[in-house]
């Protein structure tokens, strides 16, 4: 087994596949978009190169259990690099679902409080980078939707993590309960 995939579970592959599919759909939509008066801002680019860039932004979620903070950092960097490369295009269709997935993953897998804080800040930065030049939303206005959804996902991750910890703690038998 490839060591870079150690600890990756079937659900991680499924989540990554869904996000990569979103990336492909969004990349195709950006490349084939016409002049749409319904967008909040005119598109600056219709380059097909956005497709692999969006896929590259989505793939790191695969390592959410093993290294959620580095994975989040890679996604942020890829989206940040896309700003000067492509300008005003639609990123929110991938970026916001990705931020929500990362918010849950930070709560579940980041570990101690200091890493949780770094992860939450990273999720906010991801949303900012995604929306700052998003042609569909016109900028940061969609934070009013993205941040509450990420907060809900983070809360769900905290609840699931707490339940998993309780289940793990309850599965061990106390010495006085073990019969000789």
* 81-90 per-position pLDDT tens digit: 999 999 999 9
Residues of the chain with pLDDT below 70 are 1, 171-180
Residue 1 is predicted with a pLDDT of: 56
**Alpha-carbon Rg for the chain in angstroms:** 19
> Mind listing the pLDDT tens digit for each residue in 29-64?
999 988 877 789 889 999 999 999 999 999 999 999
Residue 124 bridge partners (DSSP): none
Residue 171 is predicted with a pLDDT of: 63
Residue 5 is predicted with a pLDDT of: 86
Residue 169 is predicted with a pLDDT of: 83
**Residue closest to 140 by CA, chosen among 126, 151, 153:** 126
Alpha-carbon span 119 to 109, nearest angstrom: 10
Mean pLDDT of the chain: 93
Alpha-carbon span 59 to 63, nearest angstrom: 8
Residue 7 is predicted with a pLDDT of: 84
| pTM assigned to the model | 0.90
The domains of the chain are located at 7-167
**Percent of the chain as helix, strand, coil, to the nearest 5:** 75, 0, 25
Residue 2 is predicted with a pLDDT of: 74
Residue 89 bridge partners (DSSP): 134
Backbone angles phi, psi at 43, to 5 degrees: -75, 135
Backbone angles phi, psi at 89, to 5 degrees: -140, 180
């Amino acid at each position: 087994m490839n060591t870079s995939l150690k600890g990756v579970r079937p659900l991680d592959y499924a989540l990554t596949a869904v996000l990569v599919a979103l990336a492909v759909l969004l990349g195709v939509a950006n490349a084939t978009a016409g002049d749409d008066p319904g967008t909040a801002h005119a598109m600056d680019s219709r380059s097909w190169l956005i497709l692999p860039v969006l896929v590259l932004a989505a793939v790191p979620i695969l390592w959410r259990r093993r290294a959620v903070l580095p994975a989040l950092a890679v996604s942020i960097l890829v989206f940040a690099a896309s700003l000067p490369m492509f300008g005003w295009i639609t990123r929110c269709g991938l970026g916001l679902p990705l931020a929500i997935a990362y918010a849950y993953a930070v709560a579940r897998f980041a570990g101690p409080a200091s890493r949780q804080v770094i992860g939450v800040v990273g999720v906010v930065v991801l949303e900012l980078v995604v929306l700052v030049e998003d042609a569909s939303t016109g900028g940061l206005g969609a934070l009013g939707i993205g941040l509450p959804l990420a907060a809900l996902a983070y809360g769900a991750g905290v609840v699931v993590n707490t339940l998993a910890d309780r289940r793990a703690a309850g599965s061990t038998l106390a010495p006085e309960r073990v019969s000789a």
